């Protein structure tokens, strides 16, 4: 018996993946901008780590989506980023926290989609855990800097 091909990406999943890739690219650039505008080396290193994670996650998702033959998802992921960085460490902390929360929301909206392939679902879950870990590290640094200052 011949079975019809399985639709790997149905409903709103392609749109959500495209938005997630776009958001990751945007956040990478935003984090780099924030890191350039702080003199606090610990904050700078932490923010650059967030930028690196966002870039790695975007590259991994793009590669996985390409293996599924869905270049339309990758091509739809246009980029936009913050043009002006907030000033002062507190402004940078707030902007980074907002960026991290937007990433968490995007991942949470897609992580339990049943139409994702098993491999893509594992990848999204792993990336969500990395963002959560980065968020916790970032919050600890912020708490530590408040205690010092």
CATH number at residue 74: 1.20.1260.10
Residue 2 is assigned to a structural domain of this protein: no
Q: Evaluate whether residue 72 is within a structural domain.
A: yes
Model confidence, pTM: 0.81
Question: What residues contact 146, with CB distance under 8 A and at least 6 apart?
Answer: none
pLDDT in tens, the chain (149 residues): 343 334 445 567 888 888 899 999 999 999 999 999 998 999 999 999 999 999 999 999 988 877 777 666 666 555 555 556 677 888 899 999 999 999 999 999 898 888 888 888 999 999 999 999 999 999 998 888 777 76
39 found inside a domain? yes
CA distances from 136 to 10, 39, 71, 123 (A): 33, 22, 34, 20
Query: In the chain, how many domains are there?
Result: 1
- Please indicate, yes or no, if residue 6 is contained in any of the structural domains: no
Range of the domain at 118: 13-148
Q: Which pLDDT belongs to residue 77?
A: 54
Residue 100 lies in a domain: yes
Asked, for residue 71, whether it belongs to a domain, the answer is yes
Quote the pLDDT of residue 45.
Answer: 94
Whether 77 is covered by a domain: the verdict is: yes
């Amino acid at each position: 018996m011949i079975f019809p091909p399985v639709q790997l990406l149905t409903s709103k999943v392609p749109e959500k993946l495209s938005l997630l890739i776009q958001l990751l690219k945007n956040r990478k650039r935003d984090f780099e901008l924030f890191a350039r505008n702080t003199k606090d080396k610990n904050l700078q290193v932490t923010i650059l780590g967030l930028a690196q994670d966002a870039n790695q996650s975007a590259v991994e998702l793009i590669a996985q989506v390409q293996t599924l033959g869905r270049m339309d998802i990758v091509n739809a992921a246009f980029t936009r980023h913050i043009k002006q960085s907030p000033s002062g460490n507190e402004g940078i902390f707030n902007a980074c926290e907002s960026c991290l929360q937007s990433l968490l929301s995007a991942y949470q909206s897609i992580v339990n989609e049943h139409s994702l392939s098993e491999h893509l679902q594992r990848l999204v879950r792993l990336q969500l855990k990395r963002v959560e870990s980065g968020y916790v590290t970032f919050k600890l640094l912020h708490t530590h800097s408040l205690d010092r200052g």
